[in-house]
Amino acid sequence: MMVCLQRRLLQLALALLCAMAPLRSAIALDPSKALTQYVHSSWRTSDGLPQSSVMKVLETKDGYLWIGTQAGLARFDGVRFTNFDRSNTPALEDDWICDLAEDGDGTLWIGTSHGGVTIYRGGRFSHFDSVAARGALTLAVTVDGSVWLGGYGGMTHVKDGKVIRTYTVADGLSGDPVARVLGDRNGSLWVATPSGLDQLTGDKFVAYTSRDGLPGNDVIDMGLDAKDMLWVKTQNAEPTRRMDGHFQPWIIPGIAGAGIHDILEDRDGNLWIASLTAGLFKISGQQVTHFSTKDGLSSNEIISLYEDRAGNIWVGTNEGGLDRFQNGSFTSYSRENGLAGDRTYSVMEDHAGDIWVTTPAGLNQLHGDRFHVFTTADGLPSNDVWALAEDHQQNLLIGTARNGLARMTDGHVVPGLVARDGIPDYLLTAIVEDHQHALWIATRGGGLVRRADDRVTTYSRETGLLSNFIYALTEDDKGTLWIATSDGLNSVTDGHIKSYADNPLLAHAWIVALHIDAKHVLWIGTIGRGLFRLEHGHITRYTTRQGLLNDTVNSIQDDRAGNLWIGSDKGIYRLTTHELDAIAVGTGTMMQPLVFGEADGMKSSETNTGTQPSSWRAHDGRLWFPTPRGLVVVDPARISLSDQPRPAMVEQLLADEVDTNLAAPVRLAAGTRRLEIHYTAPNLSTPKRTRFRYRLDGFDEQWIAGSAQRVAQYTNLSPGRYTFHVGASDDAGRWGSREGILHFELLPQFYQTWWFHLLGGLAAILVLLGFYRMRVNWLHARAAVLEERQRIAGEIHDSLAQGLSGIVFQTEAALISMERAPAMTSKHLIAARDLAKSSLDDARYSVLNLSPPILDQKSLLESLSAMARQLTGGRVDELDVHSSGTAWVVPAEAKHHIVLIAQEAVSNAMQHGSARTISINLTFAADTLRLAVTDDGTGFDPDSDAREHARGHGMGNMRHRALSLGARLEVTSEVGTGTRIFLSIPRPGLLTRWWQRLRGAGVSRIDG
């Protein structure tokens, strides 16, 4: 117990030393409201605060709220906290935050208990090393832009980021440590110490102590009011004020003994008093209101007070968290404000401007700002009162649950109408006095009663009503009474009842609200069926599909601008006349309701219905609505909404869940798959009204609606440069022009680079060329079948036929030699045998391989010589085979074709030309191979087809082989002069040979 007490005293002592801040003027809250009528919100560690003892609160120029606690620093945008401490911010050397200040350049100064001072500028934290660890318990920024740091060791003056001077006791300070530093409008600096109060003007100190009127010398806090008047708090004493150069006790009525710890004065002069034991007080003129843990305050021990630029009051408590008080568009009245009970049924304004409210606990009259409650003690037949109306004699008519109708005249309850007067013994839900002063009384279960001149007429299901359960009545300008029942809509005109049961839109509708606007349009509210508009006999239906908040309409009211206000189970919302009319005439499809709820001052978002009036527009234009938790009122002309769009900004970028430094150019690693972009627009008043939209250039074709989480997610983006845009709206949903922009680059994987794509393209081309070659080869293969047939025929002629012809020649020669020269017979038989063997080899090769026989490894000249000698076999007188030029290797198949062409020429010369001299000349050039076969035979006429046919397939085979070689074949001959066969074969270059191979060209060409 003692340890806990010591810890608590230590916390409070440090709070006294660290927590108090200079006061500042801002837009104040509505002074006419009590503390309980402001919108109160609170945040604790479960909501994101780093710790529940809030030492200091400060709003910076960018709209963020910074909260210093005993366990770290938090940045708040109105929705979420971003926390900073030693674990994630090395520049923050201590988690106990004592004070916060912002200089003229927007730099945030953070004073800590044992870690000196840290600064935050441009999104980065850095430690200010020129101050001792205990030298920044209090901070102040003066009008000249200087920053003053106070603590143990005196007070340090910093300007433009540089230490100007440190003041200690030796320089005139009254004591050490410095508890608080405060600058006034005149440029003077006030310094609180344990030994007195000092005023520094220039470099001169003036000391104030108990001799000058202070209650004591141990000054623990001080502040300035709106008039720059100084107040001072000393240890164990009430505050004092400096007036006319003297310190005088400051007696605050109604706060005596509350243990004042902090005082805040807003622009309107309202005083906010923080107590260390009793919670929060507000003083407006002579009115003192109180707010404590009983009302929802986080803690009765208040450490700090702060007013932001929007006029919200922030309360930092000890071990309780952070509280906020703000103006709401709605003001609530509940039992705390004098109502008989929180549940309210009906509301109306009388001729004198007083507001009357019915509850189960009595009738309430709001006169000025005070309620007066009427009960059975004042003559009411029952405390459970429901419906209200005022007749032409200014009598207040009061409908009860089951005790008839009461009447109030001049503040006194007089006998009314009960069952014996013809009033059904049911709950009275609505009362209307028509233009003839007849009284219409609706009941829940007993039908409708009309009373005129003491005569009572009852309408029920038997007389034409759709139901005996009636919830609302209203009379139009033509004298027609409209009746809302649980089973549809009725009307009564001159005593005649009309039903709308045959209308499919209204059939069996549970109608609970009726309202006739300034344009004489009848508006009909239902449970679960939406809102209906009846105008000139035409009915228009509005539901959630057109923008209603939900399809239950509890109450309907119009404001002076013609806008419609709807009470529902999910809040009160406003619909504009323009949007309602557009849907009615078919030019519009959707409405954008402006929704209000608990965040706007209502204790409950739900409104009540079933009795009348369920809403009311007062003579001053304010709208009143009964709810289950009190009565609420709104002034449509003074809605607490901002018309200034907040500047949107990007807070954080997570790449595959890794935080990215946004202060430097953002380049994301190759392979990054998932991006989370956190964005915001600081709004400390109405953050839930801020809407967002975002777009990623290069990916999103249009704006994307932002979510409540304020996060944009992207997956599997392609490499490249991107720009992210985010925009925010004002409270009414209008978009602003100040976007948050983030540029980033996503680096590519190696297979996503341009050079890899180039290589891939080349590879694809090669693959296609490969397929092309396969295709060409296949076509060549098909053509080769026909070519092979022709080749085989040529082979038979050129090899087998020529060989057989040679055998015949040699055999005939042998026969002749047997008679004339027996010695030559053996030579001719040997030649015939060799020809037979060669022909047999050629036949086998052609049959087995279906390709030309490849000659042996002899050179082309050697092959030609061997062929010629073998073929002539001594039958010619002279055979000359020679070559010129530098020989180069000829491919085997090309060599085969050349030899066979020469063989055909030699054979033709002997067989058809009877040549005696044959010459074969082979010439090698760099780009050409030339072959010339010349004989002295009989020759022939090249233009004569008869001689061509006489030579069989020989000439055709020669031309075909020449074509295969890509060669030029010339035949020159004249009758009686011999024949010359000339073959010119080109030798292609390296690239040509490569392309011929790629496209599958014939391999018989001399491409070696």
Q: d(Cα 250, Cα 225) in Å, to the nearest integer?
A: 13
Contact 985, 928 (CB under 8 A): yes
- Cβ atoms of 366 and 637 within 8 Å: the answer is no
Classify residue 449 as exposed, middle or buried by CB count within 10 Å of its CB (0-12, 13-18, 19+): buried
- What is the model's pLDDT at position 883? 92
Q: What is the pLDDT of residues 192-238, one digit of tens each?
A: 999 999 999 988 999 999 999 999 999 999 998 888 889 999 988 88
Q: Is-contact 503 468, C-beta < 8 A?
A: no
Q: Identify residue 742 by its one-letter amino acid code.
A: L
pLDDT exceeds 50 at position 45: yes
pLDDT of residue 74: 97
- Tell me the mean pLDDT in the region 536-558: 96
3-state secondary structure of 418: coil
Residue 930: pLDDT above 80?
yes
Cα distance between residue 397 and residue 432, in whole Å: 10
User: Which tens digits make up the pLDDT trace of 616-626?
Assistant: 999 999 999 99
Burial class (CB in 10 A: 0-12, 13-18, 19+), 845: middle
pLDDT at residue 733, rounded to an integer:
84
Contact 116, 131 (CB under 8 A): yes
User: How sure is the predictor about 849, in pLDDT bands with cuts at 50, 70 and 90?
Assistant: very low
Q: To the nearest whole percent, how much of the chain has pLDDT over 90?
A: 61
The 10s digit of each residue's pLDDT in 83-142 is 999 999 999 999 999 999 999 999 999 999 999 999 999 889 999 999 999 999 999 999
Average pLDDT over residues 610-615: 95
* 179-195 mean pLDDT: 92
At residue 852, the pLDDT reads 41
pLDDT value of residue 3 = 34
Q: Give the span between the Cα atoms of 163 and 812, in whole angstroms.
A: 131
pLDDT digits (tens, 9 = 90+) for 694-730: 999 989 999 999 998 999 999 999 999 999 999 999 8
Would you state the pLDDT for residue 63? 93
Residue range 545-574: mean pLDDT, rounded: 96
Which one is predicted more confidently, 285 or 606? 606
pLDDT at 927: 86
On the question of pLDDT at 318 being above 80, the answer is: yes
Q: What would the two tokens of residue 252 be?
A: 């605050």
pLDDT band at 842 (very low <50, low <70, confident <90, very high): low
> Could you read off the pLDDT of 354-383 as tens digits, one per residue?
999 999 999 999 999 899 999 999 999 999
Contact between 658 and 671 under an 8 Å Cβ cutoff? The reply is: no
Residue 158's pLDDT band (boundaries 50, 70, 90)?
Answer: very high
Share of the chain above pLDDT 70, in %: 86
What's the pLDDT at 244?
Answer: 84
Write the secondary structure of 440-463 as one string of H (helix), E (strand) and C (coil).
EEEEECCCEEEEECCEEEEECHHH
Tens of pLDDT, residue by residue over 331-351, are: 999 998 999 999 999 999 999
pLDDT at 848: 36
Q: What is the DSSP letter of 400?
A: E
pLDDT reported for residue 874: 74
The pLDDT assigned to 1003 comes to 43
- Mean pLDDT along residues 644-648: 85
Least confident of 184-198, 491-505, 815-829: 815-829
Please report which confidence band the pLDDT of residue 796 belongs to, taking 50, 70 and 90 as the band edges.
Answer: low
Residue type, 729: S
Quick one: pLDDT band at residue 12, thresholds 50, 70, 90?
very low
| DSSP class per residue in 871-930 | HHTT-SSEEEEEEES------HHHHHHHHHHHHHHHHHHHHTT--SEEEEEEEE-SSEEE
Per-residue pLDDT at 941 exceeds 90: no
Neighbours of 415 (CB within 10 A): 12
> How many other CB atoms are found less than 10 A from the CB of residue 399?
29
pLDDT confidence tier of residue 660, bands split at 50, 70 and 90: very high
The residue among 857 and 761 whose pLDDT is bigger is 761
pLDDT at 567 over 50: yes
Question: At 243, which amino acid appears?
Answer: M
Q: Is the entire prediction scored with pTM above 0.85?
A: no
Dihedral angle over CA of 313, 318, 322, 324, nearest 10: -30
Question: What band does 13 get if pLDDT is binned at 50, 70 and 90?
Answer: very low
Q: What pLDDT does residue 910 have?
A: 83
Residue 587 pLDDT class (50, 70, 90 cuts): very high
The chain-wide mean pLDDT, for the chain, equals 87
Query: Higher model confidence: residue 992 or residue 451?
Result: 451
> What pLDDT is stored for residue 5 in this prediction?
34
DSSP state letters, 179-244: -EEEE-TTS-EEEEETTEEEEEETTEEEEE-GGGT-S-S-EEEEEE-TT--EEEEETTS--EEEET
pLDDT at 949: 47
- Four-CA torsion 451, 455, 461, 466, nearest 10 degrees: -30
**27: confidence class by pLDDT, cuts 50, 70, 90:** very low
What single-letter amino acid sits at 295? D
Helix (H, G, I), strand (E, B) or coil at 841: helix
Amino acid code (one letter) for 945 = D
pLDDT tens-digit readout, 426-467: 999 999 999 999 999 999 999 999 999 889 999 999 999 999
Give 276 or 847, the one with higher predicted confidence: 276
pLDDT beyond 90 at 799: no
